[in-house]
Amino acid sequence: MSKLNKVVLITGGSRSIGAACAILTAEQGYKVCVNFANDENAALGVVKKIKDLGSNAIAVRGDVANEADIKNLFAETKSRLGPLTALINNAGILSKEGRLDTFSAERIARVVGVNVTGSILCAREAVLAMSTRHGGTGGSIINLSSIAATLGAPGVYVDYAATKGAIDTFTLGLAREVANEGIRVNGVRPGIIDTDIHASGGSPNRVEEMKHVVPMQRGGTAMEVAETVLWLMSDKASYVTGAMVDVSGGR
């Protein structure tokens, strides 16, 4: 694929893992749609960095739990950057750490809405845009899961862990569904990565507090996750689909 024709949409691209993916994809010649939910300034900062790298980027607000926002996100990407060739389904949320017996229905619905429904709806739009069955030229979808899918996250956020288990199963199913339509679908399971997400769970120092349970005895960086995402998207992984790659320091 010509460098000029590569277009990626990154949900939650305004900070942390999503922003690292935005910078690395831009370095590989992608034009980048940086989606964000709230912090426009952060998204515009990522767009500026990409433009400084000599590529093109746009920032588009949208809540991935909202279907109309998703449709607008994909329409803006197509009209302003060109036909989509990759989706990084990165936006994901935690809620406050605790036991299940303290969780409200609203909290659970929001976590499922963003992490599961949002990712599945974004993948649907990407399939409609990229599948050869729909006149597209193929592409790649990367889903951000979590090592929590394999651990269950007891006592902190079993609802979040369950959403990531759903992402693992969805990745496998969709990969097989569109394997003959030019689209590869893979997932990454980060472990404890040093980002802002832990503050939203009420533990801004979670990396420091938990690093002793990681065989490598440290947290990972957003860039270490992004490098794996980029490899899975690249032609170097041309026979890889339906795979989940753990980026978790051995945990």
Active site residues: 160
Q: Which element (helix H / strand E) includes 186?
A: strand 183-190
CB nearer to ligand NAP: pick between 80 and 211? 211
Tokens representing 25?
A: 């994809």
Among 23, 24, 26, 37, binds ligand NAP (CB under 6 A): 37
Q: At 197, list the tokens.
A: 């997400």
Q: If we measure between CA atoms, which residue out of 126, 197, 204 comes closest to residue 164?
A: 197
**Residue 29's Cα: distance from chain center in Å?**
19
Q: Which of 39, 177, 181, 224 binds ligand NAP (CB under 6 A)?
A: 39
Min dist CB 166 to ligand NAP, Å, is: 12
* Residues 6 or more apart whose Cβ sits within 8 Å of residue 129: 74, 78, 83, 84, 136, 139
Whether 43 contacts 59, CB under 8 Å: yes
Q: Three-class SS string for 190-209?
A: ECCECCCHHHHCCCCCHHHH
The nearest distance, CB 226 to ligand NAP, in angstroms, is: 10
23 lines the binding site for ligand NAP (CB under 6 A)? no
Long-range contacts of 3-7 (CB under 8 A, 24+ apart): 3/28, 3/29, 4/29, 5/82, 5/83, 5/85, 6/30, 6/31, 6/85, 6/86, 7/31, 7/32, 7/33, 7/77, 7/81, 7/82, 7/83, 7/84, 7/85, 7/86
Site string for ligand NAP, 184-203 (x = CB under 6 A): ------x-xx-xxx------
Under the binding rule (CB under 6 A), the answer on residue 17 touching ligand NAP is: yes
Q: How near is the Cβ of 167 to ligand NAP at its closest, in Å?
A: 8
Q: Which is nearer to ligand NAP, 64 or 136 (CB)?
A: 64
Q: Which stretch binds ligand NAP (CB under 6 A): 47-55, 86-94, 176-184, 226-234?
A: 86-94
Q: How far is the CB of 97 from ligand NAP (least distance, A)?
A: 13
Mask: binding to ligand NAP, 133-172, rule CB under 6 A, as x and -?
-----------x-x--------------------------
142, β-bridge pairs: 88, 186
Which one among 30, 33, 59, 63 touches ligand NAP, defined by CB under 6 A? 63
The pair of structure tokens assigned to 113 is 């809405």
Among the listed residues 22, 88, 91, 226, the single contact to ligand NAP using CB under 6 A: 91
11 binds ligand NAP (CB under 6 A): yes
Least distance (Å) between residue 133 CB and ligand NAP: 27
Residues near ligand NAP, by CB under 6 A: 11-12, 14-18, 35-39, 42, 63-65, 90-93, 114, 144, 146, 190, 192-193, 195-197
